[in-house]
A and B are shown apart, each in its own frame.
Chain A
Amino acid sequence: MSDALDIVVRLLAVFVAFLVLPLVVGQTEHKVMAHMQGRLGPMYAGGFHGWAQLVADGVKFAQKEDIVPAGADRRVFQLAPAVGLLPYLLVLAAIPIGPRNAVGQSLDAGLFFVLAVMGVGVLGSIMAGWASANKFSLLGGLRTAAQLLAYELPMLLAAASVAMAAGTLSLPGILDSFHWWWVPWQLIGAVVFFVAGLAELQRPPFDMPVADSEIIFGAYTEYTGLRFALFLLAEYAGIVVLCALTSVLFLGGWHGPFGADGLGWLWTLLKTAVLAFLIIWLRVTYPRLREDQLQKLAWTVLIPLALVQIALTGVVKVVTS
């Protein structure tokens, strides 16, 4: 009976994290962007520092009418937000937050599971782009697919380097064998992984699939109300997942200079938060890459870099063992 209770508690914890963390990132993005770009809008609602802006956004989304365009493929159109959002919930369950089995579900091939299921999330955008019966949406869907195909490979190669270093595919296992000198050793892989992950999430500067100045809002152009909010939520959940994964794979997750007992989860959260801040910072700093620059970056810079990292990992591994 306690086993069942244990599972229920873990699933509840993952679900709560899934509901809370993306909203925290969203709120942070409002405020950070407002400060960095001098935006006045997000600082008004609710009085102090515009704390109620996110609540107001939620109410606005819930009130809006849920429209399905007449020419759209109804079922696929309505299913797409769920396909885009749910994979991130599943991924969150496999990411360890602290030592001693503080993970939703420990998997033997957790690294593969996480990368595989993250790739499925993009299917939601492609479905949305096709089903909207809108040329701009279709273009957005096409760009999403091209971007996924280009950036999946460097991401996998960078992750493979860590798996080689640790000798396991299990995420808690990778953290168990972590040493501080892995950070400089796997630095190239970390950068490649993070950049490729950003591109897979279609965050600026890799937001060509939703480039609002040329294709309106890409695959999400025709969406309104709660379904649109679900896509936005998927984006923020994606940020949380990517940052948590990067900190687990490359920055040592629960390991920190002090507080090894009991404070491990705090280190994970702290590293995730810093990386999330970095993502927001990149959004307000860099202009959007053009589609061909995007593809070129993946195939001519990131993949060779990832291969260099794998070679480096292999050499060091052979020399030290």
Chain B
Amino acid sequence: MTLAAASHGFLTPSGVEIAFLLVGLVTLGAAVVTVTTRQLVHAALWLVVALGGTAVEYLLLTAEFIAWVQVLIYVGSVVVLLLFGLMLTKAPIGRSPDADSGNRWAAVAVAAASAAALVWVVVDAFRATWIELGTPQGTTETTGRSLFQYWVLPFEALSVLLLAALVGAIVLSRKGTDTAAGSDGGGTAPLPAPGAAAPSGAATAPGPALREGQR
């Protein structure tokens, strides 16, 4: 890590930098399509492209471990969960008329604000620091060391958060089984959160709530 930003001009980019920029553009485009498309399942599939693009960016920054974790957790699990939830409730082929929200301007404002905050934090943290990528910066060993030496407390705090989510999911799914006995056949009632359905309820809650939205 050196402070010699002057010797690395922006006008003579290397191949990796060009690739980084192009993949970034694709990721940005996919992300924009994700939130603007009127087709629900297409939105989830564009999200796959956006998350995969992020993984490729990590890879170009030689953070191999983070890149594969990104693919494993986000593409392999989160998007599959999302698709599962969509298909279980409402996933028509073609445009959904109610896919638009009246909160779009508020959403744009929140998105712009959080993006600005993140960009500002990163820019402020690194300023003109130049990190040489010749030797891999994000191998499993390096990531593990910094995670368990310098970031143990945030790491543990996050696991408490996950535990809270787990407990919440169990509570939600238990409530679902209690009321299901009373109100059978109410096909319009919304399902519990897909996250709650996956661990225990997935096997027991098919049939009645599956709406016909296909043709």
State whether the Cβ of A126 lies closer than 8 Å to any Cβ in chain B: yes
State whether the Cβ of B185 lies closer than 8 Å to any Cβ in chain A: no
Task: Specify the chain B residue showing the minimal Cβ separation from A295.
Answer: B203
Are B80 and A126 closer than 8 Å at their CB atoms?
yes
| Contact residue among B45, B199, B200 (Cβ-Cβ distance under 8 Å from A127) | B45
Are A120 and B76 closer than 8 Å at their CB atoms?
yes
| Contact residue among B48, B72, B81, B203 (Cβ-Cβ distance under 8 Å from A115) | B72
Are A133 and B139 closer than 8 Å at their CB atoms?
no
Q: Once bound together, how far apart are the Cα atoms of A131 and B214, in whole Å?
A: 9
Which residues of chain A from 130 to 157 have any CB-CB distance to chain B below 8 Å in the complex?
Answer: 130-131, 133-135, 138-139, 141-142, 145-146, 148-150, 152, 156
Q: Once bound together, how far apart are the Cα atoms of A107 and B93, in whole Å?
A: 40
- Contact string against B for A residues 266-308, beta-carbon threshold 8 Å, 1 for contact and 0 otherwise: 0000000000000000000000000110111001000000000
Residues on B with beta carbons closer than 8 Å to the beta carbon of A130: 41, 83, 87, 91, 93
Q: Once bound together, how far apart are the Cα atoms of A113 and B64, in whole Å?
A: 9
Are B88 and A142 closer than 8 Å at their CB atoms?
yes
State whether the Cβ of A50 lies closer than 8 Å to any Cβ in chain B: no
| Contact residue among A108, A134, A145, A294 (Cβ-Cβ distance under 8 Å from B203) | A294
Which residues of chain A from 103 to 130 have any CB-CB distance to chain B below 8 Å in the complex?
Answer: 107-109, 112-113, 115-117, 119-120, 122-123, 126-127, 129-130
Residues on B with beta carbons closer than 8 Å to the beta carbon of A71: 93, 214-215
Known: A123-B80, A135-B214. A108 touches B139 (CB 8 A): yes
Are A122 and B80 closer than 8 Å at their CB atoms?
yes
State whether the Cβ of A72 lies closer than 8 Å to any Cβ in chain B: yes
State whether the Cβ of B38 lies closer than 8 Å to any Cβ in chain A: no
Q: Once bound together, how far apart are the Cα atoms of A123 and B200, in whole Å?
A: 22
Residues on B with beta carbons closer than 8 Å to the beta carbon of A112: 65, 68-69, 72
Known: A76-B41, A116-B71. A152 touches B204 (CB 8 A): no
Q: Once bound together, how far apart are the Cα atoms of A245 and B150, in whole Å?
A: 34
Are B83 and A299 closer than 8 Å at their CB atoms?
no
Which residues of chain B from 164 to 215 have any CB-CB distance to chain A below 8 Å in the complex?
Answer: 198-200, 202-204, 206, 212, 214-215
The smallest beta-carbon distance between A87 and chain B, in angstroms, is: 10
Are B77 and A108 closer than 8 Å at their CB atoms?
no
State whether the Cβ of B33 lies closer than 8 Å to any Cβ in chain A: no
Are B136 and A149 closer than 8 Å at their CB atoms?
no
State whether the Cβ of B30 lies closer than 8 Å to any Cβ in chain A: no
Are A133 and B215 closer than 8 Å at their CB atoms?
yes
Are B136 and A108 closer than 8 Å at their CB atoms?
yes
State whether the Cβ of A176 lies closer than 8 Å to any Cβ in chain B: no
State whether the Cβ of B20 lies closer than 8 Å to any Cβ in chain A: no
Task: Specify the chain A residue showing the minimal Cβ separation from B68.
Answer: A112
Residues on A with beta carbons closer than 8 Å to the beta carbon of B45: 76, 127
Residues on A with beta carbons closer than 8 Å to the beta carbon of B88: 142
Residues on A with beta carbons closer than 8 Å to the beta carbon of B198: 146, 149-150
Are B139 and A149 closer than 8 Å at their CB atoms?
no
Residues on A with beta carbons closer than 8 Å to the beta carbon of B93: 71-73, 130-131, 133
Known: A135-B214, A141-B87. A152 touches B77 (CB 8 A): yes
Residues on B with beta carbons closer than 8 Å to the beta carbon of A109: 64-65, 68, 139-140
| Contact residue among B202, B212, B215 (Cβ-Cβ distance under 8 Å from A150) | B202
Q: Once bound together, how far apart are the Cα atoms of A99 and B159, in whole Å?
A: 39
State whether the Cβ of A169 lies closer than 8 Å to any Cβ in chain B: yes
Are B204 and A292 closer than 8 Å at their CB atoms?
yes
The smallest beta-carbon distance between A180 and chain B, in angstroms, is: 26
Residues on A with beta carbons closer than 8 Å to the beta carbon of B42: 76
Q: Once bound together, how far apart are the Cα atoms of A295 and B64, in whole Å?
A: 33
Residues on B with beta carbons closer than 8 Å to the beta carbon of A116: 68-69, 71-72, 75-76
| Contact residue among A73, A138, A152 (Cβ-Cβ distance under 8 Å from B87) | A138
Known: A108-B139, A134-B214. A119 touches B75 (CB 8 A): yes
Are A146 and B200 closer than 8 Å at their CB atoms?
no
The smallest beta-carbon distance between B81 and chain A, in angstroms, is: 6
Residues on B with beta carbons closer than 8 Å to the beta carbon of A108: 64-65, 136, 139-140
Are A299 and B200 closer than 8 Å at their CB atoms?
yes
The smallest beta-carbon distance between A74 and chain B, in angstroms, is: 10
Residues on B with beta carbons closer than 8 Å to the beta carbon of A146: 84, 198, 202-203
Sorted nearest first, the 5 A-B pairs with minimum C-beta distance are: A119-B76, A116-B72, A292-B203, A295-B203, A112-B68
Residues of B within 8 A of A (CB): 41-42, 45, 48, 64-65, 68-69, 71-72, 75-77, 79-81, 83-84, 87-88, 91, 93-94, 136, 139-140, 198-200, 202-204, 206, 212, 214-215
Residues of A within 8 A of B (CB): 71-73, 76, 107-109, 112-113, 115-117, 119-120, 122-123, 126-127, 129-131, 133-135, 138-139, 141-142, 145-146, 148-150, 152, 156, 168-169, 291-292, 294-296, 299
Show 11 A/B contacts (Cβ-Cβ < 8 Å), sorted by A: A73-B93, A108-B64, A109-B68, A119-B72, A119-B75, A138-B87, A142-B88, A145-B80, A148-B76, A291-B203, A299-B200
